[in-house]
Every structure is written in C-alpha cells, then in structure tokens.
Amino acid sequence: MEAWRRQLEEPVRAFPIAKAGPAHIATLKTYDPPLSALERRRFEGVERRGKRLLFPTDDGELVLLVHLMTAGRLKYLQTGQDGPKAPAFRLEFEGGAQLVLTEAGAKKRAGVWLLTPEQADTELAHLGPEAFGLGAERLGEICARESRRLHSLLRDQRVIAGIGRAWANEILHHAGLSPYALTQELDEEEVDRLASAIDAELARGLDLRERGASDKRTYRVHNRLGEPCHICETPIARVDFEEHTIYYCPTCQTGGRILKDRRLSRLLR
C-alpha cells in the first residue's frame, strides 16, 4: 500500500476534481456526504493507515477513503489514456486525467468511503499501530497482552495495522518462527527477531513493488508450496488455519514439524 501511496501522491493533487463517480453500488459504502461534494475540490495528497488509502481535500472538509482488500487495484490514467469500461469507482480530474478502481472477480469487496474528517477518525479508530517501525518494545507489549497464535496476531488490523496474510507468511519465515507459536510464549530474543523481520520484509516488499515486481518475484514463501526454501531448500509446506492458508518452512520455522490443519470445519467433521 505504501508503494501505491507514493505513486499517487503527486498526480492526485495536480488538478481539481471534475466529476466523482459513478461507483458500483457494492463499492461505495457511504451516501452522506454525496460523492458530488468532491467536485471542484482538490486533494491535498495521499495518506496511508494500515491497508487504507486516505485522500483528504485541501480545504480540510472531506476525506476519500479507499480500501482495496485483496483484488482491488487503483490506477491513475493520464488524459486520453484508455481505461476500463465499468470500473468499480471512477474519479475524473479537470483536464481529463482519471483515478479508477477496478476489482477482479465477481465479489465486490473493495470499498470507497466519502467522509468528513471526524467520520474518518471514527472509521480508523479501531486500527492498531502501524506495523512498519513498530519496534521490539511495543511488539513485546502487544504479545504479552494478546494470547494468540502469531499468524493470527500479525494479520489482525485492530492489533497491528498493515500486514496481510501473504506478508504474515514472509515475516514469520524471515523471523524463523512458527505461525502457530503462541504470543505469550515468545522470549525476548524472539520478539526482537519478529520486530526486525516485520521492518525488513515490509521494506523489501515496498522496494520490489516500487520497481514493479510481480507477486511471484516478491513472495519467497507465500504461494510456493513444494518449492525449495530459499534459506535451507526444504520444500515449503502449507496448512489451513482460520480460513487462511499459511505457507512455512518446516526446517526454518517449526523444528521439522508439519503443522496440523486447525480449521473449525475439520474439527467438527
């Protein structure tokens, strides 16, 4: 998300907004203020909170909030550049450039909210602190407070903002920790390792994204079932846990153990 933010920062404030919308009915999550309230205003830039992008207007009156979820993509189109026929959301700037949100697949999960700054604060209040730069001390406090398995903790935006399932896999592999390790059982050295891994992996991801790398080049563990671990060459293993698929290296992360499926559906069978 940080790579998106940097890319959009300059272009979105170049011109005032000429036309906001249309938006897919499932994508636009708010109706008051109406989208038309954005017209003739100008964005101040782009901010990021966790996985959300915020576009505040330069008069301080409105904030456009965008959450891409898994399949959403935001694209800035120069004047005259061809865009998708029916994007989930479209915003046109004076002069003809456009910002469009598209979403692959039939399920519309990405969202657009138009909010007042007060509404935006409320909307974002439940988000935890930013993952990048969190540091060992704060991470240690979080681990001591939350009794959870690590993979689930890292993904929970209310606890730590900005890590999705793919990066949770990458970070835990980098830290050499089991996705099933319990937060309250980590020692100080393991918390240090996890805090460094969060920063190292998110920085690596940002750098690769800025250079336009594909998922395949970016992820070293995620979605690589059976491929050799880049550290020890053990085939990467996979386990389903809480509706998510976890990828890990049994040698680097679990002392050679294969993790058991912990989906509730399996337990009930």
Is residue 212 packed enough to be buried (19+ CB in 10 Å), middle (13-18) or exposed (0-12)? exposed
Footprint (CB under 5 A) of Zn ion, residues 122-161: none
Q: Which residue's CB is nearer to Zn ion, number 148 or number 220?
A: 220
Residue 252 Cβ, how far from Zn ion at the closest point, in Å?
3
Q: Is residue 119 near Zn ion by the rule CB under 5 A?
A: no
Bond before 33 cis per omega within 30 degrees: yes
Q: Which residue's CB is nearer to Zn ion, number 88 or number 249?
A: 249
Q: What does the alpha-carbon distance between residue 234 and residue 251 come to, in Å, rounded to a whole number?
A: 7
Q: Is residue 249 near Zn ion by the rule CB under 5 A?
A: yes
The length of the chain is 269
Q: Which residue's CB is nearer to Zn ion, number 229 or number 239?
A: 229
Q: Is residue 166 near Zn ion by the rule CB under 5 A?
A: no
Question: Per-residue string for binding with Zn ion, 221-240, x by CB under 5 A?
Answer: --------x-xx-x------
Residue 160 Cβ, how far from Zn ion at the closest point, in Å?
24
Residue 229 Cβ, how far from Zn ion at the closest point, in Å?
3
Is residue 12 packed enough to be buried (19+ CB in 10 Å), middle (13-18) or exposed (0-12)? buried
Q: Write out the two tokens for 249.
A: 């290296």
Residue 247 Cβ, how far from Zn ion at the closest point, in Å?
11
Q: Is residue 251 near Zn ion by the rule CB under 5 A?
A: yes
Q: Which residue's CB is nearer to Zn ion, number 101 or number 249?
A: 249
Q: What residues does 55 pair with on adjacent strands?
A: 64
For Zn ion (CB under 5 A), the number of binding residues is 7
Residue 153 Cβ, how far from Zn ion at the closest point, in Å?
22
Part in contact with Zn ion (CB under 5 A); list of ranges 119-127, 156-164, 186-194, 245-253: 245-253
Residue 156 Cβ, how far from Zn ion at the closest point, in Å?
26
Angle at 114 between CA 112 and CA 118, to 5 degrees: 125
Bond before 22 cis per omega within 30 degrees: yes
Q: What does the alpha-carbon distance between residue 120 and residue 28 come to, in Å, rounded to a whole number?
A: 15
Q: What residues does 91 pair with on adjacent strands?
A: 20, 99
Question: Per-residue string for binding with Zn ion, 188-227, x by CB under 5 A?
Answer: ----------------------------------------
Three-state SS for 54?
strand
Phi, psi of 100 (to 5 degrees): -125, 145
Contacting residues toward Zn ion, per CB under 5 A: 229, 231-232, 234, 249, 251-252
